């Protein structure tokens, strides 16, 4: 219903079919234009759109004033229609204007011109910025996505449960926001990085299928796809395997995308983590473009070229001249810049090879390669004259990651452009890397992921080779979220903790409230969480999640509108038993 005691219609819903109707509209004056001595045109705006009202020139109504207009809908005179406006075929005439509230001149134009305004200014006056059509559209698209997600989850038998915002501190790979306890000086709550522990306990409690559109917080550096506060679909299911979880979450994602775009996305593809790294050099692969990594190690197994000899992994990417003329026909300065970039990313170096018009190879290293190696390189890469070949020889992970980043640097389109390519990345490593301080493995996702059943027998003998029943959802190179089948056996959980350097007594102290219930009959279970901010940003055609969040923080973490974070009075700190240290000198 759009009618209220103050209005009969919304501004953006009037059409030629309403001609002759007497209507009452409320909104803000988007623009005033004088028409001779006696008439003025007022563009009246609300969240639904804008409509033109013809008023007496004596009416005092200015930009961003809040008004109520009563008048008659009339077809616009021939030659005055505005086809770029949904209401452009009509206008309101015989108007009576009531000023509901005057307004100071806005800090910036409340229209598309504000896109060029400094973001700090926009966020300082976010209440004005949100009046714009773009921002209203984004917020309403987000609401549609949330509604579709709720419908999809409820339709699959999930129960919506709210979990606590104040919880004990737990390690999840990012810094937590801590909340001091007034009643227990020196003790702290943590704000949830996710409802991970609570939702697993709900499975122990027999809830069977839980979901929540959850607010989560992480004290980590902000960027285009990250904020301190974020919103995610959080879900957990009992008596399931990986396929069950992916099917349920896939249904919610499909419903959300359909609600936002009007059409269902293609089926979500699936690849293993190993394949993603081998082909795309990333665990967040963007499938919209080529430049896939090509395996070259075997070609150079007996090479005499020192940079390749004995390298554990050699891979390359082919940059087609037709697709990337700037890179493929690059001069020496551009090629040196690519080499520098590879070194910044951790590679020892980068070999570049141009394929000449006659099929020969132009490269500083060509003379060090045998004729057989040169021919095999061209064949393996599928190279043709004009192509540029980029080759890295290093440790497997370095080779993949460096070429994967170069691939993105050279060819990746903006995240919202092109087709939507969703992909499940499955079978992540259970452990990744070693903690420099403890010398212990680090969890690939979090400490509660279930090892792959085919790999459990190697948990002690070769832990770094163990796969997890863990999976990520990626859209156009942005990770939307992650999940796993959980460890439901207490002894297996302790084995994993021990690998992370968490002894049994420490595990009991830190996770006792979580581990103890698992001794009382925990079902096999798994779940997932994906970022709604990120999904909505892509579906809305935005490069930054701040554009789909009503009141975001700047990249610095500051809120220009409220001034947060702000100091608090010494009396408040005293109640909490807290003293602050002086700021370090800059």
Where residue 342 sits, what CATH number does that domain have? 3.30.1360.30
Residue 123 resides in a domain: no
Distance, in Å, from the CA atom of 326 to the CA atom of 319, rounded to the nearest integer, reads: 10
Q: Cβ atoms within 10 A of the Cβ of 104, count?
A: 8
Q: What is the pLDDT of residue 169?
A: 87
Which of 357, 383, 411 corresponds to the end of one domain? 411
Report the pLDDT averaged over residues 256-263: 96
Mean pLDDT of all residues in 124-145:
97
Tokens of residue 325, six digits: 């003329």
Instruction: Give the integer Cα–Cα distance in Å for 256 and 535.
Output: 9
Give the model confidence (pLDDT) of 479-519 as tens digits. Answer: 999 999 999 998 899 899 988 888 888 888 888 877 888 88
Q: Cα dist. 541→54, 363, 478 in Å?
A: 35, 41, 13
| Confidence (pLDDT) at 326 | 53
Same domain, 203 and 257: yes
In a domain, residue 242? The reply is yes
Structural domain includes residue 503: yes
Per the CB < 8 A criterion, the answer to whether 526 and 88 are in contact is no
43 and 80 within one domain:
yes
337: left (phi over 0), alpha (psi -120 to 50) or beta: alpha
- Residue that is last in its domain, among 58, 77, 101: 101
CA 489, CA 392: separation in Å to the nearest integer? 43
Q: What pLDDT is recorded for position 340?
A: 94
**Per-residue confidence (pLDDT) for residue 325, from 0 to 100:** 46
Question: Is pLDDT above 70 for 324?
Answer: no
Q: Which domain holds residue 27?
A: 11-101
Distances (CA, A) of 198 to 163, 191, 215, 356: 7, 13, 14, 61
Residues 151 and 260 occupy one common structural domain: yes
| Whole-number pLDDT of residue 247 | 98
What proportion of the chain, given as a percentage, has pLDDT over 70?
A: 98
Q: What is the predicted pLDDT for the residue at 5?
A: 97
In this structure, what are the phi and psi dihedrals at residue 137, rounded to the nearest 5 degrees?
-65, -45
Q: Kindly state whether residues 428 and 519 are assigned to the same domain.
A: yes
Query: What's the confidence (pLDDT) of residue 333?
Result: 81
Residue 142 forms part of a structural domain: yes
Do 168 and 252 reside in the same domain of the chain?
A: yes
Per-residue pLDDT tens for 15-36? 999 999 999 999 999 999 998 8
563-570's contacts with Cβ under 8 Å and 24+ in sequence apart are: none
Q: Which residue has the higher pLDDT, 371 or 435?
A: 371
Average pLDDT, the chain: 93
**Residue 564 within a domain:** no
CATH for 452? 3.30.930.10
pLDDT of residue 327: 46
Q: How confident is the model at residue 328 (pLDDT cuts 50, 70, 90)?
A: very low
One domain for residues 318 and 240: no
One domain, residues 197 and 168: yes
For residues 351 and 271, what is the distance between their CA atoms, to the nearest angstrom? 29
Token pair for residue 535?
């999904």
- pLDDT at position 446: 84
Task: Please report the pLDDT score of residue 260 as a whole number.
Answer: 96
- Cβ contact 22:60 at 8 Å: no
**Residue 234, H or E segment:** strand 229-238
- Greater model confidence, 461 or 437: 461
Q: Indicate whether 326 belongs to any domain.
A: yes
**Is there a single domain that holds both residue 85 and residue 24?**
yes
Instruction: Return the pLDDT at 171.
Output: 58
Q: What is the pLDDT, as a whole number, of residue 297?
A: 97
- Cβ atoms 328, 319 nearer than 8 A: yes
Name the domain boundary from 411, 438, 472: 411
Q: Is residue 525 part of a domain?
A: yes
518-537 per-position pLDDT tens digit: 889 999 999 999 999 999 99
pTM strictly above 0.85: yes
Q: Are residues 429 and 404 in the same domain?
A: no
- Domains contained in the chain, number: 3
User: What CATH number has the domain bearing residue 97?
Assistant: 2.40.50.140
Are both 530 and 442 inside the same structural domain? yes
Cβ atoms of 305 and 365 closer than 8 Å? yes
C-alpha to C-alpha distance for 283 and 374, rounded to whole angstroms: 31
Q: Determine how β-strand 351-355 pairs with β-strand 39-46.
A: unpaired
400-456 confidence digits (pLDDT tens): 999 999 999 999 999 988 899 999 999 999 998 777 777 788 888 888 899 999 999
**Token pair belonging to 65:** 């004033």
Torsion, Cα 47 52 57 58, to 10 degrees, reads: -40
Q: What is the mean pLDDT of residues 112-118?
A: 94
pLDDT, one tens digit per residue, over 351-366 is: 999 999 988 999 999 9
Q: Is the same domain home to 325 and 380?
A: yes
491 shares its domain with 516 = yes
In-domain check, residue 553 = no
* Residue entry with tokens 């989850």: 153
């Amino acid at each position: 219903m759009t009618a209220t005691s103050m209005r009969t219609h919304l501004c953006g819903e009037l059409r030629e079919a309403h001609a002759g109707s007497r209507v009452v509209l409320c909104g803000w004056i988007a623009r005033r234009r004088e028409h001779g001595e006696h008439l003025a045109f007022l563009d009246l705006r609300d969240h639904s759109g804008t409509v033109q009202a013809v008023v007496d020139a004596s009416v005092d109504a200015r930009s961003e004033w809040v008004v109520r207009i009563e008048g008659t809908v009339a077809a616009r005179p021939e030659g005055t229609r505005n086809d770029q406006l949904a209401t452009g075929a009509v206008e309101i005439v015989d108007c009576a204007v009531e000023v509901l509230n005057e307004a100071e001149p806005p800090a910036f134009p409340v229209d598309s011109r504000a896109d060029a305004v400094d973001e700090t200014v926009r966020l300082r006056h976010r209440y004005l910025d949100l009046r714009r059509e773009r921002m209203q559209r984004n917020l309403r698209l987000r609401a549609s996505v949330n509604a579709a997600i709720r419908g999809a989850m409820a339709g699959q038998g999930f129960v919506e449960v709210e979990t606590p915002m104040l919880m004990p501190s737990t390690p999840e790979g990012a810094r937590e926001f801590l909340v001091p306890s007034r009643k227990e000086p020196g003790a702290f709550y943590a704000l949830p990085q996710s409802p991970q522990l609570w939702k697993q306990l709900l499975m122990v409690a027999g809830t069977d299928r839980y979901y929540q559109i959850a607010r989560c917080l992480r004290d980590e550096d902000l960027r285009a796809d990250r904020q301190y506060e974020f919103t995610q679909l959080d879900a957990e299911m009992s008596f399931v395997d990986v396929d069950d979880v992916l099917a349920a979450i896939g249904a919610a994602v499909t419903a959300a995308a359909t609600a936002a775009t009007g059409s269902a996305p293609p089926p979500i593809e699936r690849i293993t983590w190993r394949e993603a790294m081998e082909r795309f050099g990333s665990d967040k692969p963007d499938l919209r473009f080529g430049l896939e990594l090509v395996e070259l190690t075997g070609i150079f197994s007996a090479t005499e070229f020192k940079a390749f000899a004995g390298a554990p992994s050699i891979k390359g990417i082919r940059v087609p001249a037709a697709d990337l003329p700037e890179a493929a026909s690059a001069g020496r300065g551009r090629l040196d810049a690519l080499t520098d970039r590879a070194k910044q990313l951790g590679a020892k170096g980068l070999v570049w090879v141009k394929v000449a018009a006659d099929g020969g190879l132009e490269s500083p290293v060509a003379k060090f390669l045998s004729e057989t190696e040169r021919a095999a390189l061209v064949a393996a890469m599928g190279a043709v004259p004009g192509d540029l070949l980029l080759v890295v020889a290093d440790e497997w992970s370095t080779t993949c990651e460096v070429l994967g980043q170069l691939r993105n640097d050279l060819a990746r389109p903006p995240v919202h452009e092109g087709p939507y390519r969703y992909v499940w990345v499955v079978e992540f490593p259970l452990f990744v890397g070693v903690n420099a301080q403890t010398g212990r493995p680090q969890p690939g996702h979090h400490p509660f992921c279930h090892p792959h059943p085919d790999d459990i027998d190697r948990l002690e003998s070769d832990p770094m080779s163990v796969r997890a029943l863990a999976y990520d959802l990626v859209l156009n190179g942005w990770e939307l979220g992650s999940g796993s089948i959980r460890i439901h056996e207490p002894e297996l959980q302790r084995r994993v903790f021990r690998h992370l350097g968490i002894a049994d007594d420490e595990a009991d102290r830190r996770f006792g409230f979580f581990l103890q219930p698992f001794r009382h009959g925990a079902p096999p279970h798994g779940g997932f969480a994906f970022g709604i901010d990120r999904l909505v940003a892509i579906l809305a055609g935005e490069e930054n999640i701040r554009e789909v969040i009503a009141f975001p923080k700047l990249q610095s973490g500051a809120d220009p509108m409220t001034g947060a974070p702000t100091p608090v009075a010494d009396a408040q700190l005293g109640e909490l038993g807290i003293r602050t240290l002086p700021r370090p000198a800059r």
